[in-house]
Structure 1
Amino acid sequence: GILPDDIIIDTGNSLWIDTVAREKKYQSNFLLFSSAVSGGEVGARFGPSLMPSGSPYAWDRVKPIWEAIAAKVDTTTGKPIERTQPGQVITDGEPCATYIGPAGAGHYVKMVHNGIEYADMQIICEAYHVLKSGLNLNCDEIADIFAEWNNGPLDSYLMEISVEVLRHKSSDTNTPLVDLILDKAGQKGTGLWTAMSSLEVGCPAPTIAQAVYARSISSFKELRTQASSLFGSPQQVIVSKEEKQQVVEQLHDAMYCAKICAYAQGFQLMKLAAKEHGWTLNFASIAKIWRAGCIIRAAFLQSIAQAYERNEDLENLLLDDFFVKELNSRQQNWRKAICYATMQGVPIGALSSSLAYYDSIRSETLPANLLQGQRDYFGAHTFERIDKASGKKYHVEWSTNERKTILVDS
């Protein structure tokens, strides 16, 4: 039978709080050790990214196995060391497996990984939509653009497979398969969990949340079909070949900037959750194990790892010098791409919400001052003043003729 010292490993896509409850439930029977897994079918055959958490004692026993089966990256370039044959053993490179923390921490990190995955996929899909509906390009032309982009900072597994999907012709019609796929997206819940957690801990993650909403609105196919016959489209702009190329370049930068924002939201969410739950998360290590094996593996995860190696207490990824430079140099193209898509009537919720997030982060003053005034007016919720000591609360006696401002005792 199972002994108290035996280890049972949960590798499912569990909600992290369920993992915590299960470990507590079985703690007197055996060691329940959880390990989140990312990589899909390819990862299962050739090495996934592994996010284990739970008993440090159990991890010491499991670690050699996990590091052996995990995907590997080149320690110099940070690029995946590809395996192509089942059973092929790679002993070189850095394994994409690291101990995350106490029970539930690994599944929480995997949940955020999937939230970022939702955002990354939606960003790519919106770029496809702009190129297809906004520039009237066909699937092969879009695939060529994506393939070119995949040789630069947008280099990622999701871009790579998007090229393959766009180029694939249906075996029965010999037409692009993507044009035959019903535009109703499915979801398993991990993106929703991430969006809900961001609200619970008070972490802004609009790109991730918008990606979840985009899947939801896609499910209302009949409603969208009805609405398309009722609402007119904006006047279409005819663009020259040179102008098309400009839009393509602007869209590239918009995708890259939005992608940076999505990762910034995910890493800040993990940081705030770690503080709330008493975890010590190593964000450089997390970025490193996502460089191969997992669905969101991408070249610029190397830059994210380096950002957290430079400053392990980095409050937000956008504040790192490398990403400050990247965003400053590309923000004008980002804005122009948003304008073009909007004027063409192409929905770009993830791209545009990322820009709003960026503009909010870089704004020293936001209109929350008026909002606090409104809250004080109808609910006496009080407010702080910039000309008074921090932490002091004030209220206007709105119902009186004098409308005096009074200091509220805490």
Structure 2
Amino acid sequence: MTVDLTPDPAAAGLAAQTAQFVRDVVLPMEAEYKGVVPSDAVRAELQRAAKDRGVFAPHVSAAYGGHGLDMRGRAAVFEEAGYSLLGPLALNIAAPDEGNMHMLEAIATREQKERYLRPLAGGDIRSCFAMTEPAPGAGSDPSALTTRAVRVDGGWQIDGRKWFITGADGAAFAICMARTSGEPGDAGGATMFLVEADNPGMEIVRHIETLDESLYGGHAELVFDGCVVADDAVLGEVDLGFRYAQVRLGPARMTHCMRWLGIARRAQDIAVARAADRHVFGSRLAELGMVQQMIADNEIDIAASRGLILQACWELDQGRSAAQSTAIAKTFCAEAIWRVVDRSVQICGSLGISGDVLLGRFLREVRPFRIYDGPSETHRWAIARRVVRRHDKACAR
């Protein structure tokens, strides 16, 4: 079977438009706000500009106002948007909204799509995905889920605690994962619920201070205390939440990789410009062997990351689970992107750790990627298990 990793002409054209939009509109605003969007008014301004340029919502189907790109097409566009910390928010492809849109379009009922997906795709509202819990609850092991939902008259009552919920502050609704059968540690028994922000049973109890700051709405701790929702708040089918989560998690891991790859390219561009301009020890910095090695290693990490992303995206576009390829790509990209930004800081020296360029912020933003959406260690464990199972199966023939 021929593996085609190239985006179609429409996607390639949209990627070029996005690159120009980021340079014309987004980078100046990023410089003004030091990489952090300060208000919803600024978010709305960025998104209006993206709509005016025709690059808004590249991932959503045309029925909901988007361009309907497949995963390979998204890879090209998302990387260009990710060249700035503010680019993904401008295009409405930032986490967690982008992943929630993908899942709602695949799973939600027609009524749920009109109520939640359409305004979310249009940038009129934001959302969050409430799965992670404080220890010993669900984290890198989702089966440890402790938040519970029980049937009550006319619906369900949810009780539990969630933490590190990205984008919760200001979100119009949460997609909450709760256990509806079984016990913590069981592989199944989870259900997704759509919970609106004005539900008195859901409360943000604190904002968590974190290393990163660019994900809009921050990271919050939520409490569900007697949170009652109607039967039509169930997303998908009861007890199949873990299965539905895979619809979101594999593609969302890849879109994280795409966006951060854009920042890796940006860091490399800053470092190369500095190395080409800075003169030390009688020559340009770029002519020193150790600096050349760092520049070359950055290029290798960027190219390898892009190749792994495209391989995984091709498998997803073919309708495969792509569990192994997405795990490999996520693990490699999270570490390679960190290496690229770290080397870029080193090449730039004191400039790199100053506020005159954003490399220091990039370093803080990309470091958590080695933890969220599955720590590197968890992915390595899963990758190795699949390899051993493949070996055992081959030996049993």
Fold equivalence (TM over 0.5): no
Greater fraction strand: 2
* TM-score between both structures, scaled by the size of structure 2: 0.30
User: Relative contact order, CA 8 A, sep 6+: which one is greater?
Assistant: 1
Q: TM-score, normalised by structure 1?
A: 0.29
Q: Which has the larger radius of gyration?
A: 1
